[in-house]
Amino acid sequence: MNGKPDPRTTAEVVTRTRLERGRGALGPALELVHTGRAPTRAVLTAELGVTRATAGAVAAELEALGLIRVDPRPVAPAGSHGRPSHRLLVEEEGPVALAAQVHADGYRAALVGLGGRIVATTPGCEIVGADPAEVLDSVVAAGAGLLRETGRRCVGAGLAVPSAVAEPDGKALNPLYVAWPAGAPVRDIFARRVREAGLTGPAFTGNDVNLMALAEHRHGAGRGARHLLCVATGHRGVGGALVLDGRLHTGSSGLAMEVGHLTVNPEGRSCYCGSRGCLDVETDPYAFLLAAGRTPGPEESLLKQASDLIVRESADPAVRAATELLVDRLGFGLAGLVNILNPDRIILGALHRVLLGAAPERLRAVVADRSLWGRSGSVPILAAALDHNSLVGAAELAWQPVLDDPLVALGG
Ligand SMILES: [Zn+2]
């Protein structure tokens, strides 16, 4: 107290306090609308624990920033006698994040709005050579083309790669089935390409299965889980991820959850890690095709060949036997993870999702029989729900600064 009279009137103090409180609530409010947890202003008010006036001011500010839309037609909460409230929606014409994914068969670029909504996407077939700059050039150019076509504002860019990404230097330590050298500085290369393409906003890079887990937690089958385990196999190899209380668990240097090297068949195929019979080489699309006695062809991705076989030729005894073999091995691996991690939900992606669909009871039984916590609590095992979930997760990286502080990130 310096003894000077305070020139502010009571009304000014109240307005300023509401704005300051509202400013701190902008990010949390945006995240609630983004993840579908605040469909109305009444729910937003309750979730934020603020007054109706503050929630109204926060929603109006997010609408002014072009991020959400407040539907002025009040709707009553479904199936209840609660008070009608304005609906909150993400702004469909609002800004987007550029999302990029590199995989064994090439790349895919997309523009992703709030709510995990894919606005535009384009695939690219390309042999991924030893220099990461080549495919990253292609994918950034494809994304920049989508931005030109749509005229959308870009908040930033995110890249999903089939490798563990070391923190804090952003190097791809074990690129899976792409020819990049171990330790390739993919984050720096991607960021440089994004800047050179004249795109605004920061650029981020993460492991594809980690990003799948993040997307499923925010927008898909993982919503509401507190200890979410994801396991997936896309083209070659197997990845895992853990989302704890809404945040990715990446370990001390970004390398946690390298689940592909759990042994699930001690007599099995030798693995590039030096061991034998790893989940990585025993449950991926290539392993399935070999187990079913098929020769993988060059015309389609291994994932598509294996998935089509499981779905369309399930009456073939060799296909059925291969399905059961892989389901059992996947189950052994999941059981080990359940014992260690005690998740409250498991989500399976890509071929593992197809295997779950083909033999759900068998897979659940193997996990329950082989795990302490599986037997006692029966962990739900669900299929990934989103299309292109690694891309949506890559976009989440780019959206995060906006979710943390919309005014700063958008220069408001
Ligand atoms: Zn291995």
Supply the CATH number for residue 317's domain: 3.30.420.40
Q: Which of these three, 43, 64, 90, is where a domain ends?
A: 90
Q: Say if 35 falls within a structural domain.
A: yes
Output the CA 237–ligand 1 centroid distance in Å.
9
Burial class (CB in 10 A: 0-12, 13-18, 19+), 297: exposed
Average pLDDT over residues 50-73: 93
Determine the pLDDT at residue 22. 72
CB 161 within 8 A of CB 102: yes
Structural domain contains residue 347: yes
**Residue that finishes a domain, picked among 90, 107, 122:** 90
pLDDT band at 38 (very low <50, low <70, confident <90, very high): very high
Q: Are residues 244 and 197 in the same domain?
A: no
Predicted pLDDT at 3:
45
176 CA to centre of ligand 1 in angstroms: 12
Taking residue 202's Cβ as centre, other Cβ atoms within 10 Å add up to 15
Distance from the CA of 41 to the center of ligand 1, in angstroms? Answer: 50
Distance 248 CA to ligand 1 centre (A): 23
3, HSE (Cβ side, Cα atoms, 13 Å): 0
Q: Do residues 230 and 211 touch, judged by C-beta distance below 8 A?
A: no
Ligand 1 centre and the CA of 91: distance in Å?
45
Residues 48 and 125 in one domain: no
Q: What integer best gives the mean pLDDT of the chain?
A: 91
C-alpha distances in angstroms, 122 versus 110, 111, 145, 281? 6, 9, 10, 30
Report how many domains make up the chain. Answer: 3
CA distances for 280 relative to 32, 250, 329, 330, 352, angstroms: 36, 19, 11, 10, 12
For the cut 60, the answer to whether the pLDDT of residue 370 exceeds it is yes
pLDDT tens-digit readout, 284-311: 999 999 999 999 888 788 899 999 999 9
Q: Residue 272 C-alpha to ligand 1 middle, in angstroms?
A: 6
Task: Determine the structural domain holding residue 320 and report its residue range.
Answer: 221-385
Q: 391 alpha carbon to ligand 1 midpoint, in Å?
A: 26
State whether 116 and 36 are in the same domain.
no
Q: What pLDDT does 251 receive?
A: 92
Per cent of the chain over pLDDT 90 is 79
> What distance in Å separates the CA atoms of residue 19 and residue 22, rounded to the nearest whole number?
5
How far apart are the CA of 269 and the centre of ligand 1, in A? 9
The span from the CA of 401 to the CA of 202, in Å, is 9
Rounded to 5 degrees, what are φ and ψ at 182? -60, 135
User: Would you place residue 12 in the very low, low, confident or very high pLDDT band (cuts 50, 70, 90)?
Assistant: low
CA 338 to chain centre: 21
pLDDT of the residue at 20: 67
Residue 378 and residue 239 in one domain: yes
Q: 394 C-alpha to center of ligand 1: Å?
A: 26
Q: Which residue has the tokens 């000077």?
A: 4
